[in-house]
Amino acid sequence: MAVISVSHLSKYYKVHQKEPGLAGSIKSLFSRKYYDVKAVDNISFEIEEGELIGFIGPNGAGKTTTLKTLSGLLYPTRGEVSVLGYIPWKRQPQFQKQFALVMGQKNQLWWDLPAIESFILNKEIYEVPDAQYKETLNELSELLEVKDLLKIQVRKLSLGERMKMELIAALIHSPKVLFLDEPTIGLDVVAQKKMRDFIKIYNQKYKATIILTSHYMDDVKELCKRVVIIDKGKIVFDGLLEEIVKKYADHKNLSVVFEKELNRKQLEHLETLGGIKEFSYPKLILQVPRENSNKVAAKLLQSYPVADLNIEESQIEDIIREVFTGKNVA
């Protein structure tokens, strides 16, 4: 039986449409026009126990709205949802003790207090026994390497350290289902890697069911075997990540900064190395087949006045854009 079951879920918002100017403002006082925004539009999927899936899409696609509905923060316009056998928006205490929602851009910690104070508060809210609380806190703080930071005011912590504390606060009651909305947003590459490692360990050790949203390809590639892609409120793909990566991420981008302007011969030769995505001196972004990226990088370093060069993975948005331009992946 699926831990999460979503059937024909829709969430619409009525938005007021006002005509411009003073006349439009006065008119809207007496006669208002509304139109529906389909944040989520008739989506269905199921997730089994212990699955860690990537829920991805461009900004405004409906990812966060879906997570908020699954966690009971929003009522749907129509459709059926079951999480751990509960209807989320009924907000039954037994359900609320078994899931957690972590949003990378929202804080649940008290800014002027040490993180430990927020953990104690959550312990009382979720009625976690003392022994379980101490064991969980000790284990999580060791895994996240923050034992020495528990008694420091949250506002004095770095962004990466605060995000780790947010995770501990969300996991202190050992939830069976975890919704992670952009957990690595704003973190440096080292902090992102540590966060991914922790999520992977937590998923494997506790068999937690996790839905992860992220704009970073590395997050999804390292953590998720299955991805659900949503756009304009509709699911456009639900399947193994390797199917998407194999079909649509078959190239890499070379980001190059030149020391000086190129001559005509060098400019003409560039077009033989790959597809020029962007070129505004001194910066070039060259798209090349994945298997040729190292060879092309070597040619650039050998034949061009290169000040800096990076080999970059395609962004999720780029892959999704290809899915949305008419290619059939269903």
pLDDT of residue 328: 46
**Which residues, other chains included, contact 306 with Cβ-Cβ below 8 Å and sequence gap of 6+?**
256, 257, 258, 259, 300
pLDDT digits (tens, 9 = 90+) for 9-21: 999 998 877 778 7
Q: By mean pLDDT, which of 41-55, 233-247, 300-314 is the weakest? A: 233-247
Q: What is the pLDDT of residues 53-98, one digit of tens each?
A: 999 888 888 999 999 999 999 999 999 999 999 999 999 999 999 9
25 pLDDT band (50/70/90 cuts)? Answer: confident
What per-residue confidence (pLDDT) applies to 55?
Answer: 94
Percent of the chain with pLDDT over 70: 94
pLDDT in tens, 288-329: 988 889 999 999 999 999 999 998 877 666 776 676 665 544
Distance of CA 123 to the CA centre of its chain: 27
Task: Map the chain to HEC letters.
Answer: CCCEEEEEEEEEEEEEECCCHHHHHHHHHHCCEEEEEEEEEEEEEEECCCCEEEEECCCCCCHHHHHHHHCCCCCCCEEEEEECCECHHHCCHHHHCCEEEEECCCCCCCCCCEHHHHHHHHHHHCCCCHHHHHHHHHHHHHHCCCHHHCCCEHHHCCHHHHHHHHHHHHHCCCCCEEEEECCCCCCCHHHHHHHHHHHHHHHHHHCCEEEEECCCHHHHHHHCCEEEEEECCEEEEEEEHHHHHHHHCCEEEEEEEECCCCCHHHHHHHHHHCEEEEEECCEEEEEEEHHHHHHHHHHHHHHCCEEEEEEECCCHHHHHHHHHCCCCCC
Residue 324 pLDDT = 61
pLDDT of residue 167: 92
pLDDT range class, residue 48, cuts 50, 70, 90: very high
Instruction: Compute the mean pLDDT over every residue in the chain, rounded to the nearest whole number.
Output: 88
Q: What is the pLDDT of residue 326?
A: 55
Q: Domains in the chain, start-ordered, CATH in brackets?
A: 4-246 (3.40.50.300), 250-312 (3.30.70.980)
Query: What pLDDT digit, counting tens, does each position of 111-137 carry?
Result: 899 999 999 999 999 999 999 999 999
**What was the pLDDT predicted at 330?**
44
> What average pLDDT does the segment 104-115 reach?
85
Average pLDDT over residues 205-225: 90
d(CA 137, CA 296) in angstroms, rounded, equals 49
Q: What confidence score (pLDDT) does residue 316 get?
A: 61
Assign 246 a pLDDT band (cuts: 50, 70, 90): low
